[in-house]
Structure 1
Amino acid sequence: MYPTPVFGLIGTGHIGRIHLKALQTAGLTIGAIADPSADALAAATRFAPNARQYSDYKELLADPDVTAVNICTINSLHFPILKAAVAAGKHVFCEKTMTVSTAEALEAASLRPAPGQVVQIGYMKRCFPASVWARENMERIGYPITATVRSFQGGLVSDKIFDSPDWRPAADGTPSRTRRFASGGMLNMAGSHMLDMTAWLLGDPASVTCRTWAPTGYDADLHTHGLFLMKGGTIVHFEAALPHFSKTGEYGNGWEEVIQINGTLGRMEIVYPLWDRPADFSARARIYIEADKAWEQPDFPHADAFMLELEAFAAACNSGGAEPAPTELISWQRPGIREGAVVDCWIDTCYASAAAGGKTLDVPLPPA
């Protein structure tokens, strides 16, 4: 058994504080936090009152007591910090997306962490009990012919989203706040999680045909629509959007994150809750088997997927990176560097396809 990790969290904004709360709830040790904003550090002290504070992440990486780094900065800083943390010998948990380009993703895939050094990417939807059950039961629907994957994150925004300065570049050409934060629009912010789930259930993508939409003057997509061919032959219809619908979706609150896979023997469906309130709504999954002419839908508990993914990461650190048996939920769904690189290459190719007028493009992938 390896020592229990001491966490150093970099980036104490909104998502960073969600991670700090999850670490605190899980009873994991937070040794240090880092953020260039004094206000952000002050806001984080309620979750980490005894943590050492740094204004520069490099100082945190040099802290000998910190053994695991949790990266929650803006997306464009994820890979530089991840690379430095791996070089410093730290275990690394990195929020999605791991990188912001195919070039960065393939460089990340070439990194070689030391034996026992754990690197995990924050695709927390894998941790829901409904997700695990769906993956374990995929073979029951036979060969997956088609799939529909949708991430509509409506209901949380007002009509003003269609005239928002957060999505418009400044007069001097400075990218919008959204592009600076996420290095893209809804495909990056919402679609990345659903792409990871699609790959986890159906394997790697082969090619994409993609279009994006945004109001005039925006520099980040509000809607992305794609048609994907997976290497296994499944055809996927994909949408990621920020609509202003307020009462649509499974929960009647404008939130629609759904995966539907049609196979030769039946259908698998998964429905996901609001991203920052996973413990308030349960993720759901059900399966239809044509031979039985019936649906099967287990009851799934409410779950804090942020806490589950960090517990899985800590367990892997404790075991020196060794994976437990597949029946143990705690770790076998952990996405690593390659999984993060697949999603990032996929996203970059979608944007390239859209920029080329919807041209079908092959997705460059890291070695398996």
Structure 2
Amino acid sequence: MTHSVAIEEEITLFKKTIEAFAKKEIEPYYSQWEEDGIIPRSLWKKLGEAGFLCVDLPEQYGGLGAPLHFAMSIVDEFSRLGFSSVSGNLAVHSNIVAHYILNAGSEEQKTHYLPKMVSGDFIGAIAMTEPGAGSDLQGIKTTAVKNTSTGEYVINGSKTFISNGQNFDFVIVVAKTNQALPASKGTTLFIVDGDSKGLTKGKKLKKIGLHSADTSELFLEEVRADHRQILGELDNGFITLMRELPRERTTLAVGACGAMEGALELTIQYIHEREVFGKPLSQLQVIRHKIAEMTTEAKVNRAYVNQCLALLERNQLSTVDASIAKLSTTEAQGRIADGCLQLFGGYGYMEEYPISRAFTDARVQRIYGGTSEIMKEIISKDVLGK
């Protein structure tokens, strides 16, 4: 048996374990969580105990040292099963925040935060976006000014759209440390604990989808941070952000593929059962061709994302290729969620049918992690030059 076939079989088994966990620990409660607008902290502990958090971290920091594909399978499977709020917030914690610390953190930071992230005792978040600066990170206004007498940095500013914004135990804050330079050269990342004086978790934001994914504002007023809380190099935070973007965008693309396939599974089952004019919907040519189109789109996107994952695993994935994956998959997810909902007819518009949630949850995918418009700008610059 070849190495890749063995890994594929392991991933298939791993996905079955994830599905069994979801059926027991998520499915019976998910609708209530969506109503409440938050995932309980107890689920994070259960995810940690089941070994579903930060699986690709090295064993010395509590992880399993598993290949990248295993970490992505968790996001993939929760998305396929229709639990996108869990999938999205888990991805921020495990696939984004944990890797910022692993790749840019000091040994002290890694040993303090990572094992607790693996166990679910600590929930991580990242605060980049500001009310006045969305996809344009160059426009951030949050400042961290060094107090020359104490050596501490004093952070002031406000952030928004923070995933895990109510539940987080610590947050990576992007702040300007050198006002004389553009943000690309004068930005620093700080790890700020959730109970820090002057840090306020704002109200939980009401969204049209991903209701139980707690997304919040964040206010920083005279928050003090010492040099040990700097993540990476002083004034070089922008480079750290850019280095991690391919992983973030590929994670979003994987989630989009899972969600598309899940929506198609629901729809195929429904059109076999639903009868019109005395026969199943699945026997009408217009319906059959629509399913054929959407299945083709989902499979082609999956193939490209798998190619990107292979490059990411070897640390060879470019920002452009990750941007192509993010653009293509999330746009396709929107089309497929819409097309699938249409085949449910009026029932597709009812909240009791999971396809309605797949539709509303899909919409943000074209916005966060860099909008489709920003992706097009990155791709066109690469193709056409500046």
Q: TM-score, normalised by structure 2?
A: 0.29
Report the structure, 1 or 2, having the larger helix content.
Answer: 2
Greater RCO structure (CA 8 Å; 6+ sep): 1
